[in-house]
Amino acid sequence: MPSSPTVSLISLGCARNDVDSSEIAGRLAAGGYRLLEDAATDEPAEKADIVVVNTCAFVASAKKDSIDTILAAADTGSKVVAVGCLAERYGAELAAELPEADAVLGFDSYPELASLLGDVLDGHKPASHTPVDRRTLLPITPVARQAAAASISVPGHAAPSGTAAGPVLTRRLLHSGPVAPLKIASGCDRRCTFCAIPSFRGSFVSRSHDEIVAEAGWLAGQGVGELVLVSENSTSYGKDLPGDRLLENLLVELAAVPGVRRVRASYLQPAETKPSLLQTIARTAGVADYFDMSFQHASEPVLRRMRRFGSVASFLALVDSMRALAPEAGIRSNVIVGFPGETNDDLEALRAFLVGARMDAVGVFGYSDEDGTAALELDGKIDEDEIAARVESITSLAEAIAAQRAEDRVGTEIVVLVDDPEGGVDDYGTDSVVGRAEHQGPEVDGSTTIVGADGIALGELVRCRVVDSWGIDLVAEPLEVLPGGSTGR
């Protein structure tokens, strides 16, 4: 029999894309493909027959990175297929401008992806995706929306075969380790003027409670100890399902899944964050004291032009509520500077908020025009050089505040989930391991190096005392390994 065709899968962008890539990997493995695990290395040990690039289209730099990755994959001589957000958003236009891609396929192609890759390997070129505003694909009413969801491609589903009703799980984890994302919903119903995501990700659709819990159990069985809940807007979870406090109930139940050591919520909208959610996060054992808040700005005039709610005062009050419930909680956010019409007074309002909020991590983005967004038509556009200067200024302030927050943790106790057993800060020798405390989201919020860590294994929870800080990163000494054993693989 001929050998199985080999495929490399390169996932770009956010954790939501990582879940999609995990599902794609499961589909391709079930379709007879052999996945190469070193797709992202500069010199892979084996050339793939075909490379699938799961693209990102969030901002201009992400689009460029996606295109560069496609071109680099084509240079290897492998067949190349573009999927993901850039492919969904631009489809045939991308295919015409990027002939190096052997196919450009949208979300609805995922169920047939194994077959379509076979066509590409046979020398055929599948029809390129034709973009459509995906918000038009779902009915408006919640009941009708749920009824239609099963027939519309919503990346990310469902229960392991034999464990619960529903479709068979197709995920295959792409990386070993004790941390993995778990998608709880897809799409977004908000209409922020700077964001095009709803047009190509679609309207908001919650996954069912049973599907999510079943997948959490499957992930725990794969050695995953920390679940990072992802979506375009997690605070909307359950609004299209019957019942109340569904996100709060979900957090409690996920934290009780055997093998799960920690649950981390992400992508929270300030305007939708209720006191009951803050209380659930702060008071539920196994749920990280961590608030990933999408503030975006703090000046009322800028927020209104963004079609968002809030102000310096209301946002600071929200932060105060979090810290009243969980004084050592991690708080992170992203902000956009240089938005059309942003004045010096607006920038000072943002500065005042950042100083008052004292967040642990802030991502700073410069505004850029995005196709299909309402902000394209706004007046008061700011020069690119000025935007760059504002990004540099706000980034400098945010980094200084975050570094001070880390320094303030010296002498405190933290609980660290070990996710890298092979090293840490060089000055502390080779007997160190790296992990994340509750206030540190994976990949974005810094890390903790545990020194004197002989015998501490991947996936263990370790109570530590912080002894030093390096920027936003911490150095800690172990006090005890908490019961429950290692979740690592």
CA 87/CA 72 separation, integer angstroms? 17
Query: Looking at residue 281, what is its pLDDT?
Result: 98
CA 53/CA 305 separation, integer angstroms? 35
Which residue ranges make up the annotated binding site?
Answer: 14, 56, 85, 188, 192, 195
User: Exposure of 99 by Cβ count < 10 A (0-12 exposed, 13-18 middle, 19+ buried)?
Assistant: exposed
pLDDT tens for 468-480 read 999 999 999 999 9
Query: Looking at residue 157, what is its pLDDT?
Result: 40
The 10 Å Cβ neighbour count of residue 158 is 21
Which residue ranges make up the annotated binding site for [4Fe-4S] cluster?
Answer: 14, 56, 85, 188, 192, 195
Domains of the chain: 6-130 (3.40.50.12160), 141-408 (3.80.30.20), 413-481 (2.40.50.140)
Please compute, for residue 391, the number of CA atoms within 13 A of its CA located in the half-sphere on the CB side.
Answer: 17
Give CA separation, 426 vs 112, 218, 274, 434, in Å.
Answer: 47, 36, 43, 12
Give CA separation, 69 vs 72, 103, 256, in Å.
Answer: 5, 14, 40
User: Exposure of 380 by Cβ count < 10 A (0-12 exposed, 13-18 middle, 19+ buried)?
Assistant: exposed
Query: Looking at residue 148, what is its pLDDT?
Result: 58
Contacts 24+ apart (CB under 8 A), 189-192: 189/233, 189/236, 190/233, 190/269, 190/307, 191/307, 191/374, 192/296, 192/306, 192/307, 192/308
What's the pTM value of the predicted model, to 2 decimals? 0.89
CA 157/CA 320 separation, integer angstroms? 36
Tokens of 160: 């392991």
CA 56/CA 67 separation, integer angstroms? 9
Query: Looking at residue 41, what is its pLDDT?
Result: 44
Residue 202 makes CB contacts below 8 A (sequence gap 6+) with 134, 135, 137, 138, 152, 154, 186, 187
Q: What is the pLDDT along the chain (489 residues), one digit of tens a residue?
A: 358 999 999 999 888 889 999 999 999 999 999 999 754 444 556 789 999 999 998 878 889 999 999 999 999 999 999 999 999 999 999 999 999 999 999 998 999 999 999 999 999 999 998 888 888 877 666 666 666 555 544 444 443 333 334 444 578 888 888 999 999 999 999 999 999 999 888 889 999 999 999 999 999 999 999 999 999 999 999 998 999 999 999 999 999 999 999 999 999 999 999 999 999 999 999 999 999 999 999 999 999 999 999 999 999 999 999 999 999 999 999 999 999 999 999 999 999 999 999 999 999 999 999 988 999 999 999 999 999 999 999 999 999 999 999 999 999 999 999 998 776 555 565 688 999 999 999 888 899 999 988 889 999 999 999 999 999 999 999 999 998 866 654
Query: Looking at residue 422, what is its pLDDT?
Result: 72
